[in-house]
Structures are given as C-alpha cells and as structure tokens.
Structure 1
Amino acid sequence: MGTSRDGYLGDLEVAETRIPADKPYVMLNMMNFRPIASYQPDFERESSSTISGAEAYTIYREKFGKRAAELGVTSAEVLFLGQAHTNLMAGDHEGEAWDFIVMVRFQNFASFRLVLEDEVYIKAIQPHRLAAVREFRSFAVTEVNP
C-alpha cells in the first residue's frame, strides 16, 4: 500500500505494476478546492492567516516542485494547468464540475513515487494539498502513438 499516510493514495505498488516503467508518466488531476483551506490542527504553517484552498494548492505546487528537484527528480514538467469551465458529454457524471485541471509529466512513475514516499513530502508538503482539495480525481496516463 502507498505510504502517504492519509494522503488518499491508491496502492502505489499495484499502480507501479500497471504503469509501463520505461515510458514517461503523466499525472492528470481534476480538483475541487475548499473555499477555506482546512489544515490539521497539529500541522505547523509559516503563517496562521486564513487562506483559500486555491492558495494552499499554490503553496503545495511550489513546495512539491522544489522538493522534487532536491530529490533529483528534474523531469517534472507541467504540461497543462487550467480552470475547468463546464462539463461536456459527461454521461452518468452530468453535473460533475471541477475547479482546476493539471497535467504533469515525469520521466517515469518511479520518479513520481520517489517524491510521494519521501518523509519531507509526507510531513511538510502533502498537508498543503490535503488542506486545499475538497475532492479530486487523479489518473495515471501514458502516451499512445496513433
């Protein structure tokens, strides 16, 4: 099982068996932010001021990128960062809406997993994501050549 400790991750070991090890990995996230970030009481922030979920996610993104680089994961590249406006062709998910969409490419899934299982990430960075996001979907994607 993933070691993110309440980080809402699926089983990373199973994911690693399903994602080709020799291909770039793209993480596709769809998120809804909390109106006000909801930090755990035991998490010590730099500031005690109230911030929005979107602001907490911005802090998360900045800290994630910095930590990934410190771990030698230099291949993390934001491919797309955008606001979702409406739901088209949703089928059974009619009415489902998302605030934010992000796609990030990594050299491979192992490099992404290295960050997720890092103690500094778990203790000091992941809490910003958990405080920011009310609901999300995350998909592991690899490119298919037509």
Structure 2
Amino acid sequence: MNCENAVFPPAEQAAAFFSAADDGPFVMLNLLKFRERAEYPDGSEGHLSGREAYARYGAGVRACLQAVGGEALYAGAITEIMIGAVDELWDMVALARYPSRAAMMAMIQLPEYQAIEKHRIAGLAGQLNIRTTPVARA
C-alpha cells in the first residue's frame, strides 16, 4: 500500500472530489504530520513549531465548520500503532463532520477560512484526508 501525505490535493483530485454526487453528510478523517518549524511565506512566526501554527488554524476552523452546518468532532495526538505498520506515524488525528460536499466547498471559500488557512499551510508537512460515510445498520 502506497501512502503519500500532501498539503493540497492535485487539481484533478480536488475536482473529482467536489464534482462527485453529493450523497449527504460525511466525516473527514484528517491524519496530520507537522513541520518541525512553521514556514510562513513572509518568514514571520519562525519561533512557532508546525504544531503551534496548526493550532492557530484549529482554533479558527471550528467557527468556519459551524458556519456551514458542520462540526469539529475530535482531535488528538497519535501516540502509537497497535495493528499494522507504517514507516512514520502521523502526529495528530482530527475528525470533522460536514453536511455535504457543497458545505465543505462553501467553508473553504469563506473569507474567515481564507484568513486562517495560512496557519494550516505553515504548520503542515503533509496530511491525508479520508472521507467516511456512515455504514447502514441492520
């Protein structure tokens, strides 16, 4: 199994995601890997770790999620792996619920989101975003 972290999806991957049929609510699993030091394009905030920069993003993204009917469900440090193996563990996991793909697109277009995204970019070395949907119960 190949695993590749990224800060942004390739254009074709993002287009495919947002143009797919909107089949309702989902939870996005975010596996996050932080930079040792935050990297802002203007060189500011060099004293911050990647985790600290991302925490600034996390503090603001909750309101953005709520603005589109979503919510932050959980965030926690990844401490060890029990089953399986990876070359390197991610640093953190975060779960966010969205009512739809359209709501997620609306969120990333919010001016408030645009203002905080610089902290996400500065803090992340890469991530995996995995869309999950509820399993029908018998």
**TM-score scaled by structure 1?**
0.74
Q: Is the 8 A contact 2:33 2:126 kept in 1?
A: yes
Residue 117 (1) aligns with residue 84 (2): no
For residue 37 of structure 1, report the CA deviation from its aligned partner: 1.0
Q: Is the 8 A contact 1:87 1:95 kept in 2?
A: no
Equivalent position amino acid for 2:127 in 1? F
Aligned to 1:34: 35
The correspondence of residues 66-77 of structure 1 with structure 2, limited to 5 A, is: 66-69=63-66, 72-73=67-68, 75-77=69-71
Tell me how far apart the structure 1 counterparts of residues 18 and 130 of structure 2 sit (CA, whole Å). 13
**TM-score scaled by structure 2?**
0.78
Aligned to 2:60: 63
Q: Is the 8 A contact 2:65 2:71 kept in 1?
A: no
SS in 1 for 2:79: coil
- Root-mean-square deviation (CA, aligned residues, Å) is 2.5
> Could you list the per-position Cα deviations for residues 40-63 of structure 1 after superposition, in whole angstroms to 9, with x for gaps in the alignment?
118xx7xx4621111111110122
Equivalent position amino acid for 1:39 in 2? Y
Tell me how far apart the structure 1 counterparts of residues 18 and 8 of structure 2 sit (CA, whole Å). 17
For residue 16 of structure 1, report the CA deviation from its aligned partner: 2.8
For residue 132 of structure 1, report the CA deviation from its aligned partner: 0.7
Q: Is the 8 A contact 1:12 1:113 kept in 2?
A: no
Stretch of structure 1 that moved more, 136-145 or 113-122: 113-122
SS in 2 for 1:26: strand
What is the number of equivalent residue pairs in this alignment?
130
Equivalent position amino acid for 2:8 in 1? Y
For residue 119 of structure 1, report the CA deviation from its aligned partner: 4.9
SS in 1 for 2:39: coil
Residue 94 (1) aligns with residue 95 (2): no
Aligned to 2:3: none
Q: Is the 8 A contact 1:87 1:96 kept in 2?
A: no
Aligned partner of 1:133 among 121, 124, 130: 124
SS in 1 for 2:81: coil
